[in-house]
Amino acid sequence: MRTERAAGDLKFLLFGDPGGDVSGADAALAGAALRRADVALISGYEVFDVATRVIRRDPELIDFETRFMLEQDGYPALQAVAPAVSALRLERAEGQIAAATDLVTTGPNGVFVAIDAAVAYDGTVDVGQWIVNPFALFSRVLARWPAPDVTTLNGRRIYYSQVDGDGWNNVCEFEGCAASRTIAARAMLNSLIAPYPDLPVSVALVGADLEREFGGSPASAEVARDIFKLPQVEIASHTYSHPFIWRFFEDYSRETELNRLRDIDDPAAGRHRGFVPEAVEGLAATLSSLDVRPGVDSRYVASDVYAPRAFLRHPFDLDQEISGSLALAGSLGRDGAPARLIQWSGDAAPFEAAVRAARLAGAANLNGGGARFDALSPSMIWVWPIGRQTGAERQIYSSQSNENDFTHDWKGPFYGFLAVRHTVRRTETPRRLKAFNIYYHSFSAQKLASLRSVAAMLDLAREQPLAPVCASRYAEIATGFYTADLVPLGPRRWRVRDRGALQTLRVDDAAGVGVDYGASVGVLGHRRRPAEEDVAEALYVSLDPAVAEPVLALSEHAQPARRAERFVLRESRWLIEGLAQTGCAARFAASGYGAGEMTWRAPAGAASRALVRARRGGETLLEQTAEIADDGALRTTLEIDAIAPVVVEIDACDEAAR
Partner 1 sequence: MNGARFALFLVALSGTVVAIAVAIEPDQAEIAAIALEEGDEGEASREIERFASRDGSSKEYWLRLADIHRYRGDAERLGEALTALAASAPENVAAQDALAEHLFEMRRTREAIAALERANALRPDTRRYRRIIGRLRALGEWDAAARRLEEGLDAGVLGPEDARRLVSILGASGETERLLGALRRLDAAPDVIGAPARIALFDLLVAGAKFDEAGDRARSWLDDEDGGALLAANVATLLRYRRMDEAEALARAAVALDGDAQRLIVGALAEAKALAAARRVLATWSAARDLSAPADQRALVELSAVLESPTMAWTALETHDPAALDESAATALAEQMFLLHGLRGVERLKGRLSERALRRHPVFGAEYMLARRRPEPAIEFLRGAARPRQNASAGWRRRVRSSSAAAGAGWPTAWRAMVRPPRRPKFGVSCDARPDVSADRPADRAGRTACRRRNTA
Note the residues at the interface with partner 1 (CB under 8 A): 17, 21, 23-24, 43-47, 49-51, 54, 66-76, 92-97, 99, 115-116, 121-125, 127, 129, 173-175, 177-179, 374-376, 378, 411-416, 418-419, 422, 447-453
The CB-of-57 to partner 1 minimum distance in angstroms stands at: 11
Question: What radius of gyration, in Å, describes the C-alpha atoms of the chain?
Answer: 28
Residue 212 CB neighbour total at 10 angstroms: 15
Residues with Cβ within 8 Å of 306's Cβ and at least 6 positions away in sequence, in order, are 244, 264, 272
Contact criterion met (CB below 8 Å) for 451 and 187: yes
Contact criterion met (CB below 8 Å) for 219 and 181: no
Contact criterion met (CB below 8 Å) for 3 and 495: no
Residues with Cβ within 8 Å of 417's Cβ and at least 6 positions away in sequence, in order, are 403, 406, 407, 440, 444, 450, 453, 454, 457
User: What is the rounded CA–CA span in Å between residue 616 and residue 315?
Assistant: 49
Identify which of residues 177 and 193 has a Cβ nearer to partner 1 in the complex. 177
Strand 436-441 with 156-164, pairing: parallel
Identify which of residues 121 and 138 has a Cβ nearer to partner 1 in the complex. 121
User: What is the rounded CA–CA span in Å between residue 598 and residue 342?
Assistant: 31
- What is the torsional sign of CA 103, 106, 112, 117? positive
Identify which of residues 373 and 474 has a Cβ nearer to partner 1 in the complex. 373
Contact criterion met (CB below 8 Å) for 291 and 322: no
**Residue 430: is the preceding peptide bond cis (ω within 30°)?**
yes
Identify which of residues 127 and 290 has a Cβ nearer to partner 1 in the complex. 127
DSSP 417: G
Residue 24 CB neighbour total at 10 angstroms: 10
The CB-of-141 to partner 1 minimum distance in angstroms stands at: 24
Structural element, H or E, at residue 73: strand 73-80
The CB-of-100 to partner 1 minimum distance in angstroms stands at: 12
Contact criterion met (CB below 8 Å) for 284 and 290: no
The CB-of-77 to partner 1 minimum distance in angstroms stands at: 10
Identify which of residues 124 and 582 has a Cβ nearer to partner 1 in the complex. 124
List residues bridging with 577 in a β-sheet. 589
The CB-of-101 to partner 1 minimum distance in angstroms stands at: 11
User: What is the rounded CA–CA span in Å between residue 490 and residue 496?
Assistant: 13
The CB-of-94 to partner 1 minimum distance in angstroms stands at: 7
Identify which of residues 30 and 598 has a Cβ nearer to partner 1 in the complex. 30
Identify which of residues 114 and 628 has a Cβ nearer to partner 1 in the complex. 114
The CB-of-68 to partner 1 minimum distance in angstroms stands at: 8
The CB-of-251 to partner 1 minimum distance in angstroms stands at: 21
Identify which of residues 205 and 448 has a Cβ nearer to partner 1 in the complex. 448
Identify which of residues 23 and 390 has a Cβ nearer to partner 1 in the complex. 23
Identify which of residues 272 and 411 has a Cβ nearer to partner 1 in the complex. 411
First to last CA, the chain: 46
The CB-of-343 to partner 1 minimum distance in angstroms stands at: 25
The CB-of-375 to partner 1 minimum distance in angstroms stands at: 4
Identify which of residues 179 and 656 has a Cβ nearer to partner 1 in the complex. 179
Q: Is 325 left (phi over 0), alpha (psi -120 to 50) or beta?
A: alpha
Of 274, 321, 600, 558, the residue nearest 443 (C-alpha): 274
The CB-of-254 to partner 1 minimum distance in angstroms stands at: 31
